[in-house]
Amino acid sequence: MTEKPLLVLDFDGVIVDGMTEYWSSSRQAFIDLLPKNKENYYFPSTEIPKAFKRLRPWVHHGWEMVLLAAECSNSKSRLNLRGIEFFSQNYPKECDLALKQWNWTPNQLQEALNDARRNAISNHPNQWFNTHKPFSEVVQRLQILDNEKIEFAVLTTKSLEFTQKLLTRFNLQPKFVFGHEAGSKPEVLTKILQTQIIKGFIEDRRTTLETILKNHNLQSIPCYLASWGYLKPQDLKHLPSSIKLLDLKTLNTPIANWP
């Protein structure tokens, strides 16, 4: 292997806090999906609902945020009637039920979200960019990573199109950017390992890290849970020794010294 080693990072919740944009775009996508005769039946708030914020750590794909926007905006939804705790404890099942009730498909919701984002960028580009708050210490750290003769890659379930726009805005030039179109995170990491050493993978989803570590081919990758990300309340409990909790102070030390 002649390539420099790589540090691989998730994007949302690791490099950027996009909560304001998540709600804005998801809310608009939901409105766009509504039949014209039902537009006034639901009242999606411009303020980010507590349920949307609280459930964000469970979101794995962008389309789920549109579904949550719909559930938050429907006073008779299972989310509003049964509560955040019940919904989170049964998250996959509740999402499946909500999809059926709304008669939507994940692809349909993903396309609506992508369209909402494209329209926002086209019509109000500065406003759209400003709804994303990069974690400044993470951005600054990545900008000097080459001093350690290490490059970085971004691996996200976000669309490649929007991820690249934001990385350019933050003045970050990763070696690679992999969006959801590239396949699952284990699949992409397996491909990377064929040509390069991975010095670490930083992610804010504990379940993703656990899935990676179950893969025999990926057990050489040091896995780090970003303490500043979108974490579930139970994510820090009984953390396995194979997953290291990474804080911003440690992030800013040489990678060779990381646990």
* pLDDT in the model for residue 42: 85
Residue 113 belongs to domain spanning: 19-129
Q: What integer best gives the mean pLDDT of the chain?
A: 95
pLDDT of residue 38: 65
DSSP state of 4: P
Which of the listed residues 77, 101, 129 is the one where a domain comes to its end?
129
The total number of structural domains in the chain stands at 2
Low-confidence ranges of the chain (pLDDT < 70): 1-2, 37-40
| pLDDT (0 to 100) of residue 161 | 96
Q: Is residue 12 domain-shared with residue 25, that is, in the same domain? A: no
Is the pTM higher than 0.85? yes
Same domain, 72 and 172: no
Residue 110: what pLDDT?
97
Residue 1 lies in a domain: no
The pLDDT value recorded for residue 2 is 61
Q: Among the three residues 105, 129, 153, which one is the final residue of a domain in this structure?
A: 129
The Cα 75–Cα 124 span in angstroms is: 30
- pLDDT value at residue 26: 98
Query: Do residues 143 and 248 share a domain?
Result: yes
* Co-location of 233 and 141 in the same domain: yes
Q: How far is CA 86 from CA 51, 82, 113, 135, in A?
A: 11, 6, 26, 31
Residue 36 pLDDT: 77
Q: What is the pLDDT of residue 168?
A: 97
